Amino acid sequence: MERFLAADEGKRVRIINAAMKEFRYGFKRASTDTIVRDAGISKGLLFHYFGTKETLYEFVVEFAVETLQKDFYDMVNFGQSDIIENIWQQALLRRDISDKYPYIYDFITAVHTQAKDNSASVAFLTEVYAQVGQNMLNFAYDRCDRTLFRADIDPRKAITLIIWGVNGLFEEVERRMLTHGDTDSYDVFLEELREYLNTFRKGFYK
Amino acid sequence: MERFLAADEGKRVRIINAAMKEFRYGFKRASTDTIVRDAGISKGLLFHYFGTKETLYEFVVEFAVETLQKDFYDMVNFGQSDIIENIWQQALLRRDISDKYPYIYDFITAVHTQAKDNSASVAFLTEVYAQVGQNMLNFAYDRCDRTLFRADIDPRKAITLIIWGVNGLFEEVERRMLTHGDTDSYDVFLEELREYLNTFRKGFYK
DNA sequence: GAAAGCGTTGACTAATTTAGTCAGTTGTGT
DNA sequence: ACACAACTGACTAAATTAGTCAACGCTTTC
């Protein structure tokens, strides 16, 4: 594993992405043959780096968690009290992460929902997921300026809906990229996102 | 296959659900052994019904498409011009379908996104998905009473956001059911949905 | 220039899993 | 008691699996 960390960035990213892509379907279903083919390395090298499939899996889970947590803390540090503006900033981060690691969200969701099939501790993963998912919402709720919302709108519900909206757009853009193979879709995404966030702003803010 | 259709309802549903559950991860990854174990039938019987794995797959795709199309047409026939009320009705249908076929949405999404891995025609599946997904939106947009919306709110964007919101809630309820094993979550879902739809109503309607 | 040491390869293996079969058992109706 | 289904699960040949290992190429060092 120290050997892997010593490899050059490009190769590391290729291996991580190939592993995340394959592990989306669960630990057992993933084939190391597919991973090495995808990453463009030999079978021997993968096992030279990680020793076992399980070690590779654990490494990638940890990597994904840390990457997303870093994202989470960055978000917190925006210190933006206008929640819609804050979510916009988050989306910028998310675009960057998805650009580099296209399967990371899919992967971490799968790790969570298929926890029983996989080897890692369920409690740990639940906690992780809570941090990446629900806690982010709580955090956003606690920090944001709720007085911006109209009096008859429940800010918590509104924030939830905004997050679901961002997710919906994100997933649709990814679907589009998958079926049409556009690479510049993330720019379109940001443009559309601005409009959707404005719709929310008009509807939910004073 | 006629033999399968002659089998009793309970067994048919069990087989269809087991197949959808397994085929979510793609045609090749699915194991007929897992399907028969899940469905509680013998290996021989499955092949007595369908002959090959591929025939089974095609049958289940067609079944899912038809089931969802039926849902789509029912929705259209509500003839409800208040789109939020219409979406409420759709959610009731969706709950019923997901109750009977818990993997049908996951399955049809997977069939679409993994079209290249699978055997069925990509063009056909794209069309199907468009009908179940995007066209539903167009249809809803064309038929609904846009004058209910505030003048400064783009009805198309608002409707999209509402649909994404319903999806978000639905997915979260399913996640909850998976991790906590609640069975009555669909009722909670409807309760919460009412509230979220009211939030939308307050924000986007005049 | 040779030896040592590393990253890297891919053919190889033993074990498991795969889709599909088939001889035989159970059930049902006459 | 017979016929003719539905149904079973042990079985097979082929494919796939995680992991190994002898050998290759490329620097570095003397």
Could you tell me the pTM of the whole model? 0.90
Confidence grade of residue A126 (pLDDT, cut at 50, 70, 90): low
Question: Contact A133/A189 with Cβ under 8 angstroms?
Answer: no
pLDDT of residue B185: 73
Report which residue type is found at A56. Answer: L
Six-digit token string for A37 = 């083919």
Nearest to B165 among A25, A165, A199 (CB): A165
Contact of B163 with chain A, judged by CB distance below 8 Å, is answered with yes
D20 C1' to A43 CA distance, Å: 10
> How high is the pLDDT of residue A63?
94
Q: Is the CB of B159 under 7 A from strand D?
A: no
> Chains A, B: CB contacts under 8 A, how many?
77
Q: What is the mean pLDDT of residues B30-46?
A: 97
> B93 falls in which pLDDT band (50, 70, 90)?
confident
Q: Among B82-91, B133-142, B193-202, which stretch is predicted with the lowest mean pLDDT?
A: B133-142
- The whole-number pLDDT of residue B154 equals 95
pLDDT at A174: 85
- What's the rounded Cα separation, in Å, for the pair B83 and B125? 27
pLDDT band at A133 (very low <50, low <70, confident <90, very high): low
Return phi, psi of residue B24, to 5°.
-55, -30
* Cβ count near A134 (within 10 Å): 11
C-alpha A29/C-alpha B158 separation (Å) is: 40
d(CA B113, CA B117): 9
Q: Closest chain B residue to A205 measured between Cα atoms?
A: B203
Strand C contact at CB of residue A5, distance < 7 A = no
What would the two tokens of residue A87 be?
């979510």
Contact assessment for residue A186 and residue A99, using Cβ atoms and an 8 Å cutoff: yes
Q: Give the gap in angstroms from C-alpha A116 to the nearest C-alpha of chain B.
A: 10
Residue–nucleotide distance: B94 CA to D6 C1' (Å): 34
- The mean pLDDT of chain B is 87
Which pLDDT does position A30 carry in this prediction? 96
Which of A138-152, B115-129, B138-152 shows the lowest mean pLDDT across its residues? B115-129
Alpha helices in chain B (DSSP H): 2-6, 9-23, 32-39, 43-50, 53-77, 83-100, 104-113, 122-132, 134-143, 155-180, 185-204
Mean pLDDT in residue range B70-98? 84
Determine what percent of chain A is predicted with pLDDT higher than 90. Answer: 54
The separation, in Å, between residue A48 CA and nucleotide C6 C1' comes to 12
Tens of pLDDT along A48-97?
Answer: 999 999 999 999 999 998 898 887 777 777 777 899 998 888 888 888 99
Least confident of A5-14, A58-67, B109-118: B109-118
Q: What integer pLDDT is reported at residue A111 of this predicted model?
A: 86
pLDDT digits over B143-183, tens only?
A: 889 999 999 999 999 999 999 999 899 888 888 887 776 66
Say what the pLDDT of residue A71 is.
79
The full DSSP string for A146-200 is GGGB-TTS-HHHHHHHHHHHHHHHHHHHHHHHHHH--STHHHHHHHHHHHHHHHH
What percent of chain B is modeled with pLDDT above 90? 55
Name chain B contacts of A29, Cβ cutoff 8 Å: 25, 29
